[in-house]
Structures are given as structure tokens and as C-alpha cells.
């Protein structure tokens, strides 16, 4: 099996160590062998990004548009193949994998356009005869560190704006999903982008992350991942005054009021809590339900969960693929025990299930009789596990929804305009959904949260520019 190498200074670079990328739907299936970068590789990648930075910053917007547009075009043309690779290495269903790959293509197309829309401002000065120009300039070499659960879309929504606004990139994807990262790099490498502008280093975060965070030539770090790693990124960057952006965990509430469309509420809950095997930072892990509809909602949700097909991510008809790996599966099982010990009732699911091929299959779990004091409702599990919390009215629902250290996404199911308006206003989350799942977002509008979920400017859409540019104010005496 050929090894997929790192990409540094325009060359594919081999390494002493490789890892096997394992298919979580069938652990006998090896997706590929991937080179592991060491600290010397990271240094070479930073050297390359630093050296290429001035010319790329001065490159014309047409050149940057053409590169990003070409990348987007190729991803879209190959979205079935890229989506299949993604589902095979990560375990989300084929429809989800193909959808995510297509999304990555759309993101590159969007940011191709953004290169042409990097407008500045022109103001009169308070001093007669002077003019003031405000422009947006590149930040410099940027480190991009990403998680395994959206292995092509998250890299795309960081890499595309970084390149669009004239920054160079050192990209470190998650250890678990190097396949999608490598395939994306291969496309970027053939897009006409100059050498050194974009570099890929694959390997363990603890080993190769630190030199990326601590090198003074890396002017900004865009990170998505767990809250604990986010703290390490924040500590290292703030110590040397580098810019950083963190997207981390969630414990997202879906409020279900008694005036909702019950079918839609159940669909929102199933989609939000269990699709992508619950491995989404925007997953609805807390279902906050008004008393008078509680029994009907729980019964309908449990019935719907019984009908979910758990199986091979690539098989037709699968609703829920496997958990991404043994570590995540162990974590899910541990939290199910914690929930039981805390006094929550496990109504259905949670157990490991066997399929034809060996994989990390788990039945989605639903806890009832829970409250926010329980760890299962306070800590991010990141698996197919949801809890129901009973509340007496919208006042209590609002309090419960906001009673969390996180603030990424929040949803409400209601037919009341008044309740929807109040929820949109009073929710402390960065993204609020009415009669729609907490997960599932558009790419042309801001993405991000509040409190412990996010730090720094928003990602995606036009707002991405705030992180990937620095503002210059120029005065000219006529
Ligand atoms: P993780 O924190 O373990 O890893 C994320 C990335 O950080 C990986 O590339 C990893 O190698 C790297 N890393 C680890 N230690 C490092 C260090 N010391 N220095 C530098 N880099 C290091 O997270 P994960 O398990 O890959 O992803 C799951 C987490 O991601 C969940 O908490 C989830 O909520 C979060 N997530 C958040 C969003 C969002 O937008 N808010 C989106 C997707 C996932």
C-alpha cells in the first residue's frame, strides 16, 4: 500500500513513521497509510509558509480567485468519491459524507468570490487636507488545527478564507482522519498555488502541535476541537501575543413546547441528537420538554429511535454509522454508566451492537428523568447519547437551556411566534434555530458560539474576514 506523505514547500515529503487509517465500520479495512510528521517537518513547513508569505500577500486577487475557484470546482466534481472516502474513514453515512464534501467545494467557491470583495473604507480626516484609508491586509502564516468529525468541511472553512485573504497556511488535521485532509491537500497542490503557500503536516497533536503554537513566525492559530486542547492553544498564543480563534464543545439544548408540531419536534430531536452518530459540536444533547407534552414526545421519540438502522456507513439504508473509534466508544459507554449512577433512567439504547463486520457500533441512547445538575447534562459526550429534561413552562425552559458552560447552538420547537421571538432574544447561544435541528448550518453566514464554546471572531461567511485579516489605517496629505 503506498504511503500518503506530508506536503511541505511544494513537495510530498516522506517520513520514518506512518499510521494506518482504519475504517470504523470494518476495522479489518485499512483506508490507507499516512506519514507522520515530526518536529523537523513542522519547522520546515513553517519555514516554507514564512518564506512564501510576502509574495502571496502581494499576489493579485485574480490569482487567488483562480486558485480557490479551481479547488472548489474539483471538489464539487469529485464529491461522490471524496464523500465515500470521508464516510469510510470517519463513519458518518454516505449521504452525510457526500453532503460534507460538496459543502467543502461550496465553501471554496464562496471564498473565491470573497477575494474580489475585500473592500476597504475611505474617510475624510478631522484635519483638513488629509484623507484616511482603512484596508484589510493578510495576517501572515497561519496554523490551522482541526478535529476528526468534519474532516473536510472544517479544514475548508478555515483554509479557504486564510488563502483568500493572502495568508499562508500550515495545516494539521486530526490523527483519526488524515484521508480527507490528504485528498484536499492533493487538490490544493494542483490548483496553481505557489510553493510554500499551503503545507500539510499529519501527526499527533501533543507532539507536533506545540511547535506550531510556539513558533513566533506563526501569526495566528485557528483551532477547532475539544475544550481542553483549546485551553492549550489559548495559553500558548496569548503568551506570545499571537492571534487565535477557538471553536470547541457544545451541550446544545432543543426546547420542545406543548404547542409544537410533534412530528417535526421528534424529527429535529432525532436529526440533532443522533445523525452523524451524535458526533457534532452542534448536536442536541439536551432535550428540554414542557410537562404537558413530555409523555407524548418521549414515546414518539423512543419509537422513532427503534426504527433507526445502525450499520456500515457505506451501506444503503444506514441511518446511523459507527462511532469514530474505540476511544470515543469507551467514552460514550462510560457516560452511560455515569448517567445511570446519577439516577437518570436509560429508556432505550446505549449498548454496543454487532454487525456483519467488526466495527464500533452503538445503539443511540435516550436518558429520561434528568436535570442539569447531572454530569451527562453538563459535559460534552460527543456520541449518540441524549437526555430529556422535563420543565413546567417556557420560563423554566429558558433557564434550563441557558444553564450550561457552553453556548454554541440552541433550538426551539413551537408554533408560537411570541415564544420563538423570546427564545431568539434570550438564548445565550451563538446560533439559534426555530423548528429546525440544532445541527446543520449554511456556509455564507457566521458560525460560532458563546461562553465555553468559542473564542474569537466568527467563522464562515463574510465574518470570516475579521480573523484572517488585519486592519490598516493610512493617512495621506493631499
Ligand atoms: P481534540 O481537541 O482532541 O483535537 C483537535 C485537534 O487538536 C487535532 O488535530 C489534534 O491533533 C490537535 N491537538 C491535540 N493536542 C494538541 C496540542 N497540545 N497542541 C496542538 N494541537 C493539538 O478534538 P477532537 O477529539 O479531534 O474533536 C472533537 C472535539 O471537537 C469536540 O469537543 C467537538 O465539540 C469539537 N468540535 C467543535 C466544533 C465547533 O465548531 N465548535 C466543530 C467540530 C468539533
Q: Residues 448-458: pLDDT tens digits?
A: 999 999 999 99
Distance 372 CA to ligand 1 centre (A): 25
Ligand 1 atom nearest to 247, measured from its CA: 41
210 lines ligand 1 (CB under 6 A): yes
- Could you give the 3-state DSSP secondary structure of residue 102? helix
Give the residue-averaged pLDDT of 89-105. 98
The pLDDT value given to residue 1? 74
Nearest CA to ligand 1 atom 19: 209
Distance 335 CA to ligand 1 centre (A): 19
Q: How far apart are CA 275 and CA 289, in angstroms?
A: 20
Q: How far apart are CA 308 and CA 271, in angstroms?
A: 11
172 lines ligand 1 (CB under 6 A): yes
The pLDDT value given to residue 264? 98
Question: In Å, what is the CA distance from 261 to each residue of 200, 208, 234, 390, 431?
Answer: 47, 49, 43, 18, 22
- Could you give the 3-state DSSP secondary structure of residue 99? helix
409 lines ligand 1 (CB under 6 A): no
Cell match 429520561: residue? 368
* Per-residue pLDDT band at 478 (split at 50, 70, 90): confident
The pLDDT value given to residue 171? 98
pLDDT tens digits for range 207-218: 999 999 999 999
Nearest CA to ligand 1 atom 30: 225
Is the model's pTM score more than 0.95? yes
Distance 125 CA to ligand 1 centre (A): 45
Nearest CA to ligand 1 atom 40: 247
**Spatial strand order in the sheet of 243-247:** 11-13, 6-8, 198-200, 168-172, 141-145, 220-224, 243-247, 454-455
Active site residues per annotation: 247, 281
Q: How far apart are CA 283 and CA 469, in angstroms?
A: 31
Give the residue-averaged pLDDT of 157-171. 98
Average pLDDT, the chain: 98
Ligand 1 atom nearest to 176, measured from its CA: 26
Longest Cα separation, the chain = 79
Distance 436 CA to ligand 1 centre (A): 26
Distance 247 CA to ligand 1 centre (A): 9
Q: How far apart are CA 134 and CA 475, in angstroms?
A: 9
Strands (E), 36-178: 121-124, 130-138, 141-145, 168-172
Give the residue-averaged pLDDT of 163-167. 98
> Residues of the chain with pLDDT > 90: what percent?
99
pLDDT tens digits for range 32-81: 999 999 999 999 999 999 999 999 999 999 999 999 999 999 999 999 99
Sequence-distant (6+) residues with CB within 8 A of 307 are: none
Distance 249 CA to ligand 1 centre (A): 9
Give the number of C-alpha atoms closer than 13 A to the C-alpha of residue 189, restricted to the C-beta side: 17
Q: How far apart are CA 186 and CA 184, in angstroms?
A: 5
From the list 404, 364, 361, the residue with the least C-alpha distance to 385 is 364
Mutate to test the pocket of ligand 1, among 19, 205, 222 (most ligand atoms within 8 A of CB): 205
pLDDT tens digits for range 333-356: 999 999 999 999 999 999 999 999
Give the residue-averaged pLDDT of 223-230. 97
Ligand 1 atom nearest to 210, measured from its CA: 19
Give the residue-averaged pLDDT of 379-386. 98
Render 203-243 in DSSP notation, one character per residue.
S-IIIIIHHHHH-TT--EEEEES-HHHHHHHHHHHHHTT-E
Nearest CA to ligand 1 atom 20: 209
- Could you give the 3-state DSSP secondary structure of residue 52? helix
- Per DSSP, helices labelled H in 140-285 are 153-164, 178-189, 210-214, 227-239, 262-274
Q: How far apart are CA 13 and CA 185, in angstroms?
A: 13
pLDDT tens digits for range 15-38: 999 999 999 999 999 999 999 999
Ligand 1 atom nearest to 250, measured from its CA: 34
Question: In Å, what is the CA distance from 472 to each residue of 60, 230, 274?
Answer: 18, 29, 45
Amino acid at each position: 500500500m503506498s504511503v500518503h506523505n506530508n506536503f511541505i514547500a511544494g513537495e510530498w515529503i516522506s517520513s520514518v513513521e506512518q499510521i494506518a487509517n482504519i475504517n470504523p465500520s470494518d476495522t479489518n479495512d485499512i483506508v490507507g497509510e499516512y506519514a507522520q510528521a515530526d518536529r523537523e517537518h513542522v519547522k520546515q513547513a513553517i519555514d516554507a509558509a514564512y518564506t512564501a508569505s510576502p509574495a502571496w500577500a502581494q499576489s493579485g486577487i485574480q490569482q487567488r480567485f483562480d486558485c480557490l475557484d479551481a479547488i472548489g470546482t474539483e471538489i464539487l466534481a469529485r464529491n461522490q468519491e471524496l464523500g465515500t472516502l470521508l464516510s469510510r474513514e470517519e463513519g458518518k453515512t454516505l449521504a452525510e459524507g457526500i453532503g460534507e464534501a460538496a459543502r467543502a467545494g461550496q465553501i471554496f467557491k464562496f471564498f473565491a468570490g470573497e477575494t474580489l470583495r475585500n473592500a476597504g473604507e475611505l474617510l475624510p480626516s478631522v484635519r483638513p487636507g488629509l484623507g484616511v484609508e482603512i484596508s484589510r491586509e493578510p495576517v501572515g502564516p497561519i496554523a490551522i488545527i482541526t478535529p476528526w468529525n468534519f474532516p473536510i468541511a472544517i479544514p475548508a472553512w478555515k483554509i479557504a478564507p486564510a488563502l483568500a485573504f493572502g495568508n499562508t497556511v500550515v495545516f494539521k488535521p486530526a490523527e483519526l482522519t488524515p484521508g480527507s485532509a490528504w485528498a484536499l491537500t492533493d487538490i490544493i497542490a494542483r490548483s496553481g498555488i505557489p510553493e510554500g503557500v499551503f503545507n500539510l503536516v499529519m501527526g499527533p497533536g501533543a507532539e507536533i502541535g506545540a511547535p506550531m503554537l510556539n513558533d513566533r513566525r506563526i501569526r495566528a492559530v485557528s483551532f477547532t476541537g475539544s475544550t481542553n486542547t483549546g485551553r492549550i492553544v489559548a495559553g500558548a498564543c496569548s503568551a506570545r501575543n499571537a492571534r487565535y480563534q477557538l471553536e470547541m464543545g457544545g451541550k446544545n439544548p432543543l426546547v420542545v413546547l406543548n404547542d409544537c408540531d410533534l412530528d417535526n419536534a421528534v424529527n429535529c430531536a432525532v436529526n440533532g441528537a443522533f445523525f452523524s452518530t451524535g458526533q457534532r459540536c452542534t448536536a442536541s444533547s439536551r432535550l428540554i420538554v414542557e410537562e404537558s407534552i413530555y409523555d407524548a414526545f418521549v414515546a414518539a421519540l423512543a419509537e422513532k429511535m427503534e426504527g433507526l438502522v445502525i450499520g456500515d456507513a457505506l451501506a444503503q439504508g444506514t441511518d446511523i454509522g459507527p462511532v469514530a473509534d474505540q476511544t470515543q466508544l469507551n467514552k460514550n459507554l462510560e457516560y452511560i454508566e455515569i448517567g445511570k449512577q446519577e439516577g437518570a433512567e436509560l429508556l432505550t439504547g446505549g449498548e454496543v451492537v454487532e454487525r456483519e463486520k467488526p466495527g464500533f457500533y452503538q445503539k443511540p441512547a435516550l436518558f429520561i428523568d434528568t436535570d442539569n445538575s447531572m454530569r451527562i447534562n453538563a459535559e460534552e459526550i460527543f456520541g449518540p447519547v441524549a437526555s430529556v429534561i422535563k420543565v413546567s413552562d417556557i420560563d423554566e425552559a429558558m433557564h434550563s437551556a441557558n444553564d450550561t458552560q457552553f453556548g454554541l447552538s440552541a433550538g426551539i420547537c413551537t408554533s408560537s411566534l411570541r415564544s420563538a421571538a423570546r427564545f431568539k432574544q434570550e438564548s445565550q447561544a451563538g446560533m439559534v434555530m426555530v423548528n429546525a435541528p440544532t445541527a446543520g448550518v449554511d456556509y455564507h453566514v457566521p458560525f460560532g458560539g458563546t461562553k465555553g464554546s468559542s473564542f474569537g471572531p466568527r467563522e464562515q461567511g463574510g465574518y470570516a474576514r475579521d480573523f484572517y485579516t488585519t486592519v490598516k489605517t493610512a493617512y495621506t496629505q493631499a
